[in-house]
Chain A
């Protein structure tokens, strides 16, 4: 089932499009300035290889194509651009990974240097750390794209910004909600369990109107950001949908229950999030802090998560022309072992970043996230092959103390007995992925 249709209600989408069209019409009608539209299409081929066998029906390799179209329409002498960013992916194995999204479709209106109004489908990134992005709470994660949580779905919003010389205040109204994307049955890097339909705490379901306000301030080398968000949590919690099987039903392996596996459903609650970010620059060092306090969803009361650390950059290291960076971050969540599945409760990220400063703009980032039960490695490399071709290589390998759960029930038992092993299902999911992107 493609869930794209339900992600934004059709009426909301049409309202936004008509708003944008009227904006375009007005700006077109209002002036005879020369018009300028820039189109930037790109196309990518992605190959993935998983050396270890996963669950039944999962494959060891995968082929996928993606396309992205960016466009900007500007009126000369006017600061009211229209922006479009469309994304689509076809995946040969996982039907749920075949999806498309309007990453952005927005209109900027700037009546003066101090004020800016943005309307449409937008993405808004907040935060300073590298290993995880606690504070990027406005946009839903497009999890099927990458488990690093850096790909986000477009979010309908109205954003009013006020700028002053040393800071800014932003207000957001967020109508409409996007559900997180999850891999399908055949997809890799998934929980060993069936995913049911989403449930919402609010009676308005996905039509609850959320809001957020954010203040940012610069004090010399220190940058601060503070926000509050009220609305539907982009992070779901998971509820077991299937009753625990009786021994008697399991012993009679009929055709139906041979595939009997537990099913969970994502539940999206209303929550209040307060976030603080800080970055302080000193010589070649950047010290970073992200703090998120959540009023609580599902089984959890108010809780707090922290990511903090530093990045040190040695420019022109050893006179080679190469920039070398070292990253260290501490990842914390006060719920301990009971923290959600995607939230490390007490671990460290160590990483190193290399920028070669060569013709091909080669860059690499090697990192590992370590806690008591696991070491999760990642490597990302970028290298330009020709002016229009970019090669990206990504690899992750997971080293868990507990072996891969044999089934969904096995995993749920593990969660009940020792929730610190909640990521044990990643044990067999090491992968190597190469993508070639063509910009034309």
Chain B
């Protein structure tokens, strides 16, 4: 019998690469407090308008990453609990841009050392469940796993699988809440609602700057509509003269008091990764 299923690895990490670039804005909404004076006609109209704007922003944000081709990054994950205990994991994440399908990602587990050699491969699909495979070095076995439920925690962190994966525009419906400031930067506040019934969230509030569509903060509301977690991004830098990526992200869980910090280093773009390196049939060759 095979113990080390590492189901916990099902949740992937490609993640950050994208989740913050999904939303953006290109338009200016003169958002007056219509609600208070709104007639029966104006309310649905204003709502429809906010939804339309929200979607357009998300679509435009998605375009910001167009043509990144492929990316590699090293991720150090620091887990902190309410008692101040700490654990670390380190990962190497490769992603490949696909034009006719969702992007592909390969997550190599480097530490803790007993998990070294484990590889998680994900093929994202915009309109369907993702496909996932796990390479288990102890048995030298490639195991295809179900990627149905995305609400579970990723390797004991405060990130759920759904926080980590490539966010496709059509995974959510959107609503522009208001034009605002985020730490002196002109910003948008969007609300997005997951379409996936398995999502652990009822909604998310997303702050992104108007200048470059960078996400700075996401509030996650659980199924009971209570604030569950907040994710902050720090230290954005531009790579390959085009793509903004953060150096740090911090996820705080208000209900458990736990916190997970991700530190990114050594971003590399357009290194010439090929589909063969993201093939389930060749997964074993990718393991280190």
B3 contacts across to A, CB distance below 8 A? 353, 363-365, 380-382
Please count how many residues in chain A sit with their CB below 8 Å of the partner chain's CB atoms.
64
Interface string of A66-105 (1 = CB under 8 A from B): 0000101000000101000000000000000000000000
Q: How far is the CA of A355 from the CA of B153 in the complex (A)?
A: 11
Q: How far is the CB of B15 from chain A (nearest CB, A)?
A: 17
Q: How far is the CB of B253 from chain A (nearest CB, A)?
A: 11
Contact B146 A285 (CB under 8 A): yes
When A353-B5, A388-B113 are in contact, do A223 and B144 touch as well, CB less than 8 Å?
A: yes
Contact A357 B274 (CB under 8 A): no
Residue of A nearest to B272 (CB): A77
Contact A315 B281 (CB under 8 A): no
Contact A378 B1 (CB under 8 A): yes
Say yes or no: is B280 at the interface (Cβ < 8 Å to chain A): yes
Residue of B nearest to A380 (CB): B3
Contact B152 A321 (CB under 8 A): yes
Q: B interface, how many residues as a size bin?
A: 35 or more
Q: How far is the CB of A152 from chain B (nearest CB, A)?
A: 8
Give chain B interface residues in 136-185, CB to chain A under 8 Å: 138-141, 143-146, 148-149, 151-153, 155-156
B117 contacts across to A, CB distance below 8 A? 70
A281 contacts across to B, CB distance below 8 A? 144-146
- Among B88, B148, B153, B155, the residue within 8 A (CB) of A284 is B148
Q: How far is the CB of B144 from chain A (nearest CB, A)?
A: 6
- Among B111, B113, B152, B275, the residue within 8 A (CB) of A316 is B152
When A163-B281, A284-B149, A359-B156 are in contact, do A439 and B113 touch as well, CB less than 8 Å?
A: yes
Say yes or no: is B200 at the interface (Cβ < 8 Å to chain A): yes
Say yes or no: is B63 at the interface (Cβ < 8 Å to chain A): no
Contact A110 B285 (CB under 8 A): yes
Interface string of B116-146 (1 = CB under 8 A from A): 1100000000000000000000111101111
Say yes or no: is A325 at the interface (Cβ < 8 Å to chain B): yes
Number of A-B contacts (CB under 8 A): 134
- Considering residues B1, B111, B285, which has the most beta carbons from chain A within 10 angstroms of its beta carbon? B1
> Interface segment, A122-130, A172-180, A186-194, A202-210?
A122-130
Q: How far is the CB of A424 from chain B (nearest CB, A)?
A: 22
Q: How far is the CA of A168 from the CA of B146 in the complex (A)?
A: 21
Q: How far is the CB of A164 from chain B (nearest CB, A)?
A: 9
Say yes or no: is B16 at the interface (Cβ < 8 Å to chain A): no
- Among A123, A128, A437, the residue within 8 A (CB) of B114 is A437
Residue of A nearest to B256 (CB): A321
Contact A72 B114 (CB under 8 A): no
When A125-B139, A387-B112, A437-B114 are in contact, do A167 and B281 touch as well, CB less than 8 Å?
A: yes
Q: How far is the CB of B56 from chain A (nearest CB, A)?
A: 33
Contact A130 B285 (CB under 8 A): no
Contact A380 B1 (CB under 8 A): yes
Say yes or no: is B66 at the interface (Cβ < 8 Å to chain A): no
Contact A357 B153 (CB under 8 A): yes
Residue of A nearest to B110 (CB): A38
Q: How far is the CA of A361 from the CA of B157 in the complex (A)?
A: 11
Give chain A interface residues in 136-150, CB to chain B under 8 Å: 148, 150
Q: How far is the CA of A439 from the CA of B117 in the complex (A)?
A: 13
Say yes or no: is B242 at the interface (Cβ < 8 Å to chain A): no
Give chain B interface residues in 77-134, CB to chain A under 8 Å: 79, 81, 85, 87-88, 111-117
A360 contacts across to B, CB distance below 8 A? 87
Contact A323 B4 (CB under 8 A): no
Residue of A nearest to B113 (CB): A439
B7 contacts across to A, CB distance below 8 A? 313, 315, 323, 325, 353, 355
Q: How far is the CB of A192 from chain B (nearest CB, A)?
A: 25
Contact A321 B153 (CB under 8 A): yes
A279 contacts across to B, CB distance below 8 A? 144
Give chain A interface residues in 23-72, CB to chain B under 8 Å: 38, 40, 42, 70, 72
B281 contacts across to A, CB distance below 8 A? 161, 163, 167-168, 216
Q: How far is the CB of B163 from chain A (nearest CB, A)?
A: 13
Q: How far is the CB of A4 from chain B (nearest CB, A)?
A: 21
Contact A150 B285 (CB under 8 A): no
A7 contacts across to B, CB distance below 8 A? none
A125 contacts across to B, CB distance below 8 A? 139-141
Give chain A interface residues in 225-277, CB to chain B under 8 Å: none
Say yes or no: is B42 at the interface (Cβ < 8 Å to chain A): no
Say yes or no: is B45 at the interface (Cβ < 8 Å to chain A): no
Q: How far is the CA of A355 from the CA of B6 in the complex (A)?
A: 7
Say yes or no: is A358 at the interface (Cβ < 8 Å to chain B): yes
Q: How far is the CA of A360 from the CA of B143 in the complex (A)?
A: 23
Interface string of B271-284 (1 = CB under 8 A from A): 00011100111100
B144 contacts across to A, CB distance below 8 A? 223, 279, 281, 286
Q: How far is the CA of A358 from the CA of B7 in the complex (A)?
A: 12
B138 contacts across to A, CB distance below 8 A? 150
Contact A130 B1 (CB under 8 A): yes
- Among B8, B139, B155, B285, the residue within 8 A (CB) of A108 is B285
Q: How far is the CB of B78 from chain A (nearest CB, A)?
A: 11
29 contacts between A and B (CB under 8 A): A114-B276, A116-B282, A125-B140, A130-B2, A150-B2, A150-B138, A163-B279, A167-B281, A279-B144, A286-B145, A315-B7, A316-B152, A316-B200, A321-B153, A323-B152, A351-B1, A353-B5, A353-B7, A355-B5, A357-B155, A357-B156, A359-B81, A359-B156, A365-B5, A387-B87, A387-B113, A388-B113, A437-B114, A439-B112
Binding site for B on A (CB under 8 A): 38, 40, 42, 70, 72, 79, 81, 108, 110, 113-114, 116, 123-125, 127-128, 130-131, 148, 150, 161, 163, 167-168, 216, 218, 223, 279, 281, 283-286, 313-316, 321, 323, 325, 351, 353, 355-361, 363-365, 367, 378, 380-382, 384, 387-388, 390, 437, 439
Besides A361-B114, A365-B5, 9 more A-B contacts (Cβ < 8 Å) are A70-B117, A113-B275, A130-B2, A150-B2, A163-B281, A167-B281, A355-B5, A361-B156, A380-B1
